[in-house]
Structure 1
Amino acid sequence: MPLRTPICDILQCHYPILQAGMGGVARAELVAAVSTAGAYGFLGMVREAPDFIAAQIDAVRAETDRPFGVNLIPAATEPSLFRAELDVCLARRVHSICFFWSVDAEAVARAKAGGCIVLYQVGSVKDAIAAEAAGADIIIAQGFEAGGHVRGAVSSLVLLPQVAAAVGCPVVASGGFATGRSLVAALSLGGQGIHCGTAFLATTESFAHDCHKNALLAAGSEDTVYTDAFSINWPPHSPVRVIRNAATDQLGGQLVGHDPDDLWWEQVATDSGRPIYRYSTDSPLRTTCGNVDELALFGGQCCGMVTTIVPAARRINDIIREAEATLHQFENNLYPALPAEQLVGSL
């Protein structure tokens, strides 16, 4: 199996494909489907109540005996709630924890002491080094192309090989990866797998609202917007990548430089009785009602390569089949080198 890399042994999965722990979207149905299909799923449990996290962990285990993890974000969670979130994960003996945003060494230490494998998603070489020093087992290097919250400022093509060279632990590529060809590219750049959000948002099992999924399918890569306007509920200056919609159009040319304290909290939707505000970090879910198309429609630049809504197992199978076909082409020299004179002529 040429696509089996060391992270498959660490995470006990068949394929080096990780499903991003998208808040709200990555719930038990999606995670169970991904892990059952041989990839590795993460519950997106950012700022969720401990009882809800426990119920979601139990729901995944009721559907599959495959390992999976939980995604938490210390910097975006009130400290006492974060401690309670991590406590319930450790009490439920989850297989792994994935942290994101600024490196929290104390959180890594607690998770490791509780027996968890720790993954840390970062956006720079500096943070990758800090995460490894804190004890992270796997680094997820997120490029600027990524959907949702974007930590760094350089593309995956540039960031991934630098991070792989800077740390000794395995590195997984994130941001712009949704196909088998992109998996092969990640491996060639020093990664041991890919971490996909957009590709799994557009699946039948994701908890995203249909309007979000359909907007993703209709969008081209140039239809995403990088902005920090969707900042209600998050620390200031936390940029995101979303699909362009009425809310982003209202920003005019001012896409960055927003502070959540200065935003007008206008309720445009509800979710299970909870008010949802324009420019909050809440994306529309199956349970969201109201002007759902004015909320944050998170999506990466790879949306131009995601053109169907399919079961998660089909998405994984398509990625693996294309990656194997691509490797086969290389192995059988089906990409012959150009004659030297043509290479010189093209410079």
Structure 2
Amino acid sequence: MTDPSVLSTPLCGLLGCRYPVLQAGMGGVARAELAAAVCGAGGYGFLGMVREPPQLIAREIDAVRARTDKPFGVNLIPAATDPDLFAEQLAVCFDKGVHALCFFWDVDAGAVARAKAAGCRVLYQVGSVEDARAAEAAGADAIIAQGFEAGGHVRGGVTSLVLLPQVVAAVSLPVVASGGFSSGESLVAALALGAQGIHCGTAFLATEESFAHDYHKQRVVAAGSGETVHTDAFAINWPPASPVRVIANSVTASLGPRLHGYKPEDFRREEVARDDGRPLYRFSTDSPLRTTTGELEALALYAGQVAGAVDRVVPAAGRVAQIVTAAHATLERLASRNGGKG
């Protein structure tokens, strides 16, 4: 059961990866070192280039290619990006011949059309059946169905266990499970629900190669599943009504029972940290990166409820290997219970 083909799905053929394990393109966190390590281990990595300048995107793409010859993608969010900047981001991705683009939030049919015309594969992350259908109609190649338990920005309000099979039934595209997936057992569960792979953020944030600050990584490792908070209070620098899931901290504690209903203009710009000379504010969407200094505890510590299952920081290749090894063991155990009949 150690044959890699046992876990191979059509998604692997679409993306050119060995295993159906996708690393989420977390903004700020998913840089070249992480994406290249995941790809080199047989998974599929994404650069998290949300609202980043084209020059940085070009540099990170080149840096991945200096580390691996495997295909990889870039994650962008049209709805949260100035239209002119987004056009520049697309242009550099097309110029560099990026293999795939992953989009998120509102379904932007025009962005899908431009990416497809440039020869990119397109994955669309959604939080509802309606958006999954819209992404398919727009021409996406695969759907990432994100459950409510996911970390970072959360699009919908339904858990993965409920959402995933509904999305699978609603579209004819490969569907990838996101939100609550970090292990081989969860990969097998996703496959059983009709998915063709898993999309992991929190599990890859807590790796040696991720660009997250070590403080953030250690908070993920220490957190239990009940220690995350779903709130839209981290609103500065982002469109209104964009909830996130973070590890509880002094900022979420200051909200009291009111976790939702906030807008960017509700908060004054109180600097609590800096990153590469840029001020970071309390209630902003910024998370602490390797280059961040200041009051790290007061920043958005993104993590999904699956943080309770992530107990140490490991190399990204080790995380992929753990998932694959456990998936094979799970399939073997299930087969033995069935008398070896598949």
Please give the TM-score of this superposition, normalised by the length of structure 1: 0.96
For 1:237 and 1:178, the matched residues in 2 are separated by 27
Q: How does 1:164-313 map to 2 (within 5 A)?
A: 164-313=168-317
For 2:313 and 2:43, the matched residues in 1 are separated by 18
Contact kept? 1:223, 1:244, Cα under 8 Å: yes
Contact kept? 1:329, 1:335, Cα under 8 Å: no
The residue aligned with 2:73 is 69
Q: What SS does structure 2 have at the residue aligned with 1:118?
A: strand
The residue aligned with 1:102 is 106
Task: Pick the aligned partner of 2:23 from 15, 19, 23.
Answer: 19
Task: Pick the aligned partner of 1:7 from 11, 19, 25.
Answer: 11
State the Cα distance separating 1:293 from its structure 2 match. 1.2
For 1:79 and 1:103, the matched residues in 2 are separated by 14
Deviation string 1:62-112 (CA, Å, 9 cap, x unpaired) is 000000000000000000000000110001000000000000000000000
Deviation string 1:189-240 (CA, Å, 9 cap, x unpaired) is 0100000000000000000001100111110000000000001111000000
For 1:215 and 1:171, the matched residues in 2 are separated by 30
Is 2:90 the partner of 1:86?
yes
Query: Which letter maps to 2:188?
Result: V
Is 2:137 the partner of 1:133?
yes
State the Cα distance separating 1:332 from its structure 2 match. 1.3
Q: What SS does structure 2 have at the residue aligned with 1:41?
A: strand
For 1:102 and 1:15, the matched residues in 2 are separated by 28
Query: Which letter maps to 1:216?
Result: V
State the Cα distance separating 1:157 from its structure 2 match. 0.2
For 2:274 and 2:294, the matched residues in 1 are separated by 6
Q: What SS does structure 2 have at the residue aligned with 1:248?
A: helix
Contact kept? 1:141, 1:171, Cα under 8 Å: yes
Deviation string 1:234-276 (CA, Å, 9 cap, x unpaired) is 1000000000011111111111000101112111000000000
For 2:120 and 2:289, the matched residues in 1 are separated by 29
For 2:275 and 2:9, the matched residues in 1 are separated by 40
Q: What SS does structure 1 have at the residue aligned with 2:65?
A: helix
The residue aligned with 2:60 is 56
Please give the TM-score of this superposition, normalised by the length of structure 2: 0.97
For 2:339 and 2:132, the matched residues in 1 are separated by 35
State the Cα distance separating 1:10 from its structure 2 match. 0.4
For 1:317 and 1:242, the matched residues in 2 are separated by 27
State the Cα distance separating 1:20 from its structure 2 match. 0.1
Deviation string 1:44-72 (CA, Å, 9 cap, x unpaired) is 00000001100000000000000000000
Task: Pick the aligned partner of 2:147 from 135, 140, 143.
Answer: 143
The residue aligned with 1:316 is 320
Contact kept? 1:121, 1:140, Cα under 8 Å: yes
For 2:131 and 2:267, the matched residues in 1 are separated by 30
For 1:187 and 1:263, the matched residues in 2 are separated by 43
Contact kept? 1:283, 1:295, Cα under 8 Å: yes
Change (3 A) 1:56 1:37: same
State the Cα distance separating 1:334 from its structure 2 match. 6.6
For 1:88 and 1:277, the matched residues in 2 are separated by 29
Query: Which letter maps to 2:177?
Result: A
Query: Which letter maps to 1:289?
Result: T
The residue aligned with 2:37 is 33
Contact kept? 1:271, 1:287, Cα under 8 Å: yes
Task: Pick the aligned partner of 2:162 from 158, 163, 175.
Answer: 158
Task: Pick the aligned partner of 2:337 from 333, 340, 347.
Answer: 333
For 1:260 and 1:334, the matched residues in 2 are separated by 55
Q: What SS does structure 1 have at the residue aligned with 2:37?
A: helix
Query: Which letter maps to 1:60?
Result: V
**Structure 2 unaligned spans of 5+:** none
For 1:335 and 1:254, the matched residues in 2 are separated by 53
Change (3 A) 1:335 1:146: farther
Deviation string 1:31-55 (CA, Å, 9 cap, x unpaired) is 0100011000000000000011000
Aligned residue pairs, count:
336
Q: What SS does structure 1 have at the residue aligned with 2:318?
A: helix
Deviation string 1:275-317 (CA, Å, 9 cap, x unpaired) is 0011111100000000011100000000000001000000000
Is 2:110 the partner of 1:123?
no
State the Cα distance separating 1:177 from its structure 2 match. 0.2
Query: Which letter maps to 2:89?
Result: E
**Fraction of identical pairs, as percent:** 68
Q: What SS does structure 2 have at the residue aligned with 1:128?
A: helix
